[in-house]
């Protein structure tokens, strides 16, 4: 395998125009862009001038109706919250990428899952490129795992790892991490885009051929894209990202792509001294406790996969000293904040152009859905006027550029969860108004932001 690989020649290809060069250069000889040449493997030459009349070599077609889809069997890992994000469990031949900041708990979670799988009699292999065998053993001891059936390989050379994998054929393998691997076939350093991509592609090919389920650990680099897990998202079947504040003990694992299950499903864990422990009932985790009502705070219900979560949105609006006032978000989208401030100005006459605006989703949770808009707006106005919102209020709803409040999916479930946690008042989009009253919660349904501002004034 090694000898076959090393015959492959590498070259440098431009990521913008596709031009190739034998040596690395700062500027692409084709399009003149800078820093776009990355090392890649030369495709084996295809015969030119081929005649298409000889159809003998054509692939056979199949009618889609004749193909009977099989139910893919799932192998639960035994770590419940992890199985939930995976869509029920592992699929044979599936490749799962787990991304996240260094130190957030990727190795811990996978070691725990492998431990459980080994206990249930699966053959599992942990390939560690970052830590020595002793370090992994120490962690397993700390996690009090029964590691009887677990094999460890401390190796970073792709060809050797593939040889070991094809000899031992484990049912589940973990590669920790993809950025430490290097292939003989490429000259670039481990962790470069070319190496990461090539190693992941080869491992994926192995998974599909052998039926081994492979986990790839990937660190998210500070810049996000470069050589990080993002370049692999299209290769693998499932992409999971760790979220959460490394300073708090809660960790969220979110599925952003899943060929075998729902996306945006989340698993919630708490980091304890014995590893990650699933939190079965996480809806109240992301609320902070205030002794009395404070201004600039608004609780929203967000729907993550199949679960509603209550998250506190905090805003601080403060007069700005700078010519360009700051707009800063943590856990929410920055551009959306600028848009919301424009809508607030145009349709409700609330001016923030001389104010710095900071918005934060409590607990390090990331909210991507636009249903957070209404909570962000109310928190901003509450901070600007220095007037607290009612303590037991919860809101959700998207805001459009015309100032309308748009419905959010699964409004009923959100309201029920809020009522369960003791919230007594809700502001929701008109289209989400429940047909029958929900016990314990009064629902105010609005369709314009002007109405929301009026409601604020009445408190
Ligand atoms: P780790 O899984 O090594 O992170 P990653 O692989 O994503 O880089 O987790 C590291 C952190 O978790 C580390 O700061 C220590 C903490 N930790 C615990 O709090 N309890 C534990 O039982 C373990 C194993 C780790
Ligand atoms: Mg690690």
Tell me the per-residue pLDDT of 133-188, one tens digit each, with 9 for 90 and over. Answer: 999 999 999 999 888 889 999 999 999 999 999 999 999 999 998 999 999 998 88
More confident residue, 339 or 36: 339
CA of 276 to the centre of ligand 1 (A): 9
Q: Quote the pLDDT of residue 4.
A: 45
Confidence of residue 17 (pLDDT cuts 50, 70, 90): confident
Nearest CA to ligand 1 atom 23: 275
Sheet harboring 442-446: ordered strands across? 327-330, 355-361, 307-319, 297-304, 393-395, 425-429, 442-446
Measured from the CB, is residue 274 less than 6 Å from ligand 1?
yes
Measured from the CB, is residue 100 less than 6 Å from ligand 1?
yes
Measured from the CB, is residue 102 less than 6 Å from ligand 1?
yes
Residue from 271, 273, 274, 275 to probe ligand 1 pocket by mutation (most atoms less than 8 Å from CB): 271
CA of 176 to the centre of ligand 2 (A): 7
> Are 182 and 200 spatial neighbours (Cβ–Cβ below 8 Å)?
no
More confident residue, 410 or 245: 410
What rounded mean pLDDT belongs to the chain? 88
Nearest CA to ligand 1 atom 1: 105
CA of 183 to the centre of ligand 2 (A): 21
Measured from the CB, is residue 110 less than 6 Å from ligand 1?
no
Nearest CA to ligand 1 atom 24: 275
Residue from 79, 108, 253 to probe ligand 1 pocket by mutation (most atoms less than 8 Å from CB): 108
User: Residue 442: which residues within 8 A CB-CB, separation 6 or more?
Assistant: 424, 425, 426
User: Closest ligand to 110 CA?
Assistant: 1
Per-residue pLDDT tens for 173-229? 999 989 999 999 988 888 888 888 899 999 999 999 999 999 999 988 655 444 567
CA of 104 to the centre of ligand 1 (A): 6
Rg of the chain, C-alpha, whole Å? 26
User: Closest ligand to 251 CA?
Assistant: 1
Nearest CA to ligand 1 atom 10: 103
**Closest to 107 in 3D by CA, of 275, 279, 232:** 275
Taking the C-alpha atoms of residue 250 and residue 297, their distance in angstroms, rounded to an integer, is 21
User: Closest ligand to 177 CA?
Assistant: 2
CA of 427 to the centre of ligand 2 (A): 43
Measured from the CB, is residue 308 less than 6 Å from ligand 1?
no
Measured from the CB, is residue 106 less than 6 Å from ligand 1?
yes
CA of 428 to the centre of ligand 2 (A): 42
Nearest CA to ligand 1 atom 8: 103
Measured from the CB, is residue 180 less than 6 Å from ligand 1?
no
Confidence of residue 45 (pLDDT cuts 50, 70, 90): very low
CA of 275 to the centre of ligand 1 (A): 7
Q: Which atom of ligand 1 is nearest to the CA of 143?
A: 22
Q: Which atom of ligand 1 is nearest to the CA of 106?
A: 7
Measured from the CB, is residue 108 less than 6 Å from ligand 1?
yes
Taking the C-alpha atoms of residue 449 and residue 402, their distance in angstroms, rounded to an integer, is 9
Q: Quote the pLDDT of residue 6.
A: 45
Query: 42-51, 265-274, 300-309 — which is least confidently predicted?
Result: 42-51
Residue from 103, 126, 219 to probe ligand 1 pocket by mutation (most atoms less than 8 Å from CB): 103
| Residue 223: other Cβ atoms inside 10 A | 8
* pTM passes above 0.85: no
Nearest CA to ligand 1 atom 21: 275
Q: Is the pLDDT of residue 85 over 60?
A: yes
Confidence of residue 326 (pLDDT cuts 50, 70, 90): very high
């Amino acid at each position: 395998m090694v000898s076959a690989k090393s015959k492959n020649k590498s070259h440098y290809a431009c990521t913008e125009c596709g031009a190739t060069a034998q040596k690395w250069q700062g500027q692409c000889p084709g399009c003149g862009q800078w820093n776009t040449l990355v090392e890649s493997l030369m495709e084996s030459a295809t015969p030119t001038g081929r005649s298409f009349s000889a159809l003998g070599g054509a692939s056979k077609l199949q009618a889609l109706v004749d193909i009977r889809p099989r139910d893919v069997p799932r192998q639960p890992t035994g770590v419940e919250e992890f199985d939930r994000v995976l869509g029920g469990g592992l699929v044979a031949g599936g490749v799962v990428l787990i991304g996240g900041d260094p130190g957030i708990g990727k190795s811990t979670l996978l070691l725990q899952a492998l431990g459980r799988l080994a206990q249930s009699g699966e053959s599992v292999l942990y390939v560690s490129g970052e830590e020595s065998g002793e370090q992994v053993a120490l962690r397993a001891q700390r996690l009090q795992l029964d590691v009887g059936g677990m094999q460890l390989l401390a190796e970073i050379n792709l060809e050797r790892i593939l040889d070991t994998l094809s000899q031992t054929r484990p049912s589940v393998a973990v590669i920790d991490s993809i950025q430490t691997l290097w292939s003989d076939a490429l000259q670039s350093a481990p962790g470069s885009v070319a190496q990461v991509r090539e190693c992941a592609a080869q491992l994926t090919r192995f998974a599909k051929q052998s039926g081994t389920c492979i986990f790839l650990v990937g660190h998210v680099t500070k810049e996000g894209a470069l050589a990080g897990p993002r370049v692999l998202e299209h290769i693998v079947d499932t992409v999971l990202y760790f979220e959460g504040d490394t300073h708090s003990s809660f960790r969220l694992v979110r599925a952003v792509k899943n060929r075998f299950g729902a996306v945006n499903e989340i698993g919630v864990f708490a980091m304890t001294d014995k590893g990650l422990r699933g939190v079965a009932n996480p809806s109240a985790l992301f609320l902070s406790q205030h002794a009395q009502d404070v201004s600039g705070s608004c609780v929203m219900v967000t729907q993550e996969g199949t679960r509603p979560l209550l998250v506190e949105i905090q805003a601080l609006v403060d007069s700005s000293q700078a010519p360009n006032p700051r707009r800063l978000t943590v856990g929410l989208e920055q551009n959306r904040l600028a848009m919301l401030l424009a809508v607030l100005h145009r349709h409700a006459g609330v001016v923030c152009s001389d104010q710095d605006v900071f918005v934060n989703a409590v607990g390090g949770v990331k909210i991507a859905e636009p249903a957070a808009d209404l909570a962000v707006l109310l928190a901003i106005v509450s901070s600007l006027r220095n007037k607290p919102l009612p303590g037991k209020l919860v809101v959700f709803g998207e805001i459009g550029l015309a100032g309308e409040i748009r419905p959010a999916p699964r409004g009923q479930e959100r309201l029920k969860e809020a009522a369960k946690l003791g919230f007594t008042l809700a502001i929701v989009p008109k289209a989400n108004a429940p047909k029958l009253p929900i016990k314990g919660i009064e629902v105010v349904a609005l369709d314009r932001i002007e109405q929301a501002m009026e409601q604020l004034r009445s408190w």
